[in-house]
Structure 1
């Protein structure tokens, strides 16, 4: 849960780097919350809670994905590759799951070497 809250605290922080663990833990918790809100929405016959949650977490989701791409040495613009039918989403998942660059790059120092604020 700390990884999830750390991403929310850095709400619109598109600069820097994010470790794989930070990205995937946020994605997992975000997915679980979204599924629970979908189920609750079907039970109460409205999806308003889900849409509010989606709107509230859209920017942090994009920001952590951009920081994750920065960790692999890529620009955040690579997120747009997901718009390519069939192959784009697969390529993006491979980029997001790949190991970060161990050396300092133009986006900052390796987050594995820097002290965590979590």
Structure 2
């Protein structure tokens, strides 16, 4: 299935990963406040499906099955690799599409 998002998958993945880490660290520091554990649990449950979806998209960007993301160490190591620079069975590389659109726009400026 091809992604309809313009942003490169690796950028989305790492932004979400860093925001989740930041949120976890903040909640860890204020854990002494009442009801923080409820907020922490709610956020964990609310963010699990979007997190899995982003991780699966990242694996597809690497031409790997999405379930590889569920293997803790291996999935993380794969996530650090650069994506496939060409079209694969999961769709076109978003970075390549953006580059093509930018070059096409530059070409029209010179006409």
State the TM bucket, normalised to the shorter chain. Answer: 0.7 to 0.9
Q: CA RMSD in A?
A: 2.1
Give the counterpart of 1:53 among 34, 43, 50.
43
Q: Is the 8 A contact 2:60 2:66 kept in 1?
A: yes
2:89 paired residue number: 106
Structure 1: runs of 5 or more not aligned? 1-13, 83-88
Counterpart CA distance in 2 for 1:95 and 1:65 is 10
Structure 2: runs of 5 or more not aligned? 99-111
Say how many residue pairs are matched: 95
Partner of 2:71, secondary structure, is helix
> Which is higher, the Rg of structure 1 or of structure 2?
2
TM-score (norm 1): 0.70
Structure 1 segments of 4+ aligned residues over 6 angstroms from their partners: none
Counterpart CA distance in 2 for 1:48 and 1:29 is 19
